[in-house]
């Protein structure tokens, strides 16, 4: 029996192709017709694996979430675990910024996203945080990480000294775009440490004071 010219279609190939389209051209570029063309198949073939386009998007979003490292919640104290998780989460989202607006809508039915939420929430509750406060902390970190991955502060400035001539406090602003990495990374690190510092102060007041060990 002759071997097929085109490798058999499976969920992994569909997700990888969809992610490549989204990474390269953004969410609006993805359609089932476009995806079928990229894979060299007819559109109905996709529906043997995914019932709807939204299911494909869910799978793409979850494939990104699956790369986030949450292992620190099993071995480190809650502050270090949050730091490791936030940095890994940001790296994953920054590598695929075009899927972020869809991904951050919430875990829905996505297995990797639910597993991540469970690990983070469980780690915080074990450390002594109340379930309600653990939910707030997880949400706050997700807001911060998603925002930092979605946009670049540095890219908002242009390399044009004359543009800022009338703004005396922005006379060096034209240099920011050329320092995107250091500016954006520095801002993320500063914000994350400020969040963790504030949470540590609250922990000492409301949790450690009640005799719960970190």
| Residue 209 predicted with pLDDT over 80 | no
Task: Look at residue 64 and tell me if it is in a domain.
Answer: no
In the structure, what pLDDT confidence band is assigned to residue 7 with cuts at 50, 70 and 90?
low
How much of the chain exceeds pLDDT 90, in percent? Answer: 83
pLDDT tens figures, 159-202: 999 999 999 999 999 999 899 999 999 999 999 999 999 999 99
- The whole-number average pLDDT for the span 131-155 is 94
142 within a domain of the structure (yes/no): yes
- pLDDT value for 106: 87
| 137 in a structural domain | yes
Q: How far apart are CA 136 and CA 121, in angstroms?
A: 10
Same domain, 112 and 166: yes
What is the reported pLDDT for 93? 96
Model confidence at 47: pLDDT above 50: yes
42/136 same-domain check: no
Residue 210: pLDDT band (50, 70, 90) is confident
Statement: residue 137 has pLDDT above 90: yes
Phi, psi of 130 (to 5 degrees): -70, 155
CA pair distance 132, 155, nearest whole angstrom: 37
Same domain, residue pair 150 and 74: yes
Chain-wide mean pLDDT for the chain?
A: 92
**Rounded Cα gap, residues 2 and 17, in angstroms:** 26
CB 100 within 8 A of CB 145: no
Indicate if the pLDDT at residue 214 is higher than 50.
no
Range of the domain at 46: 11-50
Which pLDDT value is given to residue 213? 47
Query: How buried is 125 (Cβ within 10 angstroms: 0-12 exposed, 13-18 middle, 19+ buried)?
Result: middle
Could you write out the DSSP letters of every residue in 158-171? -S-GGGGTT-GGGT
**Residues contacting 158, CB < 8 A, separation 6+:** 174, 177
Are both 107 and 181 inside the same structural domain?
yes
Q: What is the mean pLDDT of residues 32-38?
A: 93
Q: pLDDT tens digits, residue range 87-108? A: 999 999 999 999 999 998 889 9
Residue 18 lies in a domain: yes
Q: How many domains does the chain have?
A: 2
pLDDT for position 8: 74
2 domain-assigned: no
Question: For 7-14, what is the mean pLDDT?
Answer: 86
Place of tokens 């706050």: 140
Higher pLDDT, 212 or 28: 28
pTM: 0.88
Residue 173 and residue 201 share a domain:
yes
* Other Cβ atoms closer than 10 A to 131: 11
pLDDT of res. 70:
98
Shared domain for 19 and 102, answered yes or no, is: no
Whole-angstrom distance, CA of residue 34 vs CA of residue 200: 49
Name residue, tokens 């809508």: 105
DSSP-assigned letters across all residues of 68-134: ---GGGGTS-HHHHHHHHHHHHHHHHHTSGGGHHHHTT--TT-HHHHHHHHHHHHHHHHTT--HHHH
Q: What is the sign of the dihedral through the CA atoms of 109, 115, 118 and 120? A: negative
Tell me the two tokens of residue 156.
Answer: 């908002």
């Amino acid at each position: 029996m002759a071997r097929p010219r085109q490798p058999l279609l499976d969920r992994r190939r569909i997700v990888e192709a969809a992610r490549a389209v989204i990474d390269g051209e953004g969410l609006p570029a993805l359609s089932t017709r476009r995806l079928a063309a990229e894979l060299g198949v007819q559109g109905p073939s996709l529906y043997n694996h995914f019932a709807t386009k939204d299911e494909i998007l869910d799978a793409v979003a979850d494939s990104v979430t699956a790369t986030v490292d949450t292992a620190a919640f099993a071995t480190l104290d809650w502050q270090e675990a949050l730091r490791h998780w936030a940095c890994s989460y940001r790296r994953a989202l920054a590598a695929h910024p075009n899927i972020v607006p869809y991904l951050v809508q919430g875990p829905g039915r996505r297995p990797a996203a639910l597993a991540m939420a469970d690990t983070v929430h469980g780690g915080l509750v074990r450390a002594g945080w109340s379930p309600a406060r653990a939910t707030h902390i997880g949400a706050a970190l997700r807001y911060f990480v998603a925002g930092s991955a979605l946009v670049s502060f540095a890219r908002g400035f242009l390399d044009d000294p004359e543009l800022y001539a009338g703004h005396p406090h922005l006379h060096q602003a034209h240099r920011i775009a050329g320092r995107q990495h250091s500016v954006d990374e520095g801002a993320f690190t500063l914000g994350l440490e400020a969040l963790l510092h504030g949470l540590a102060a609250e922990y000492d007041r409301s949790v450690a004071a009640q005799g719960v060990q970190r």
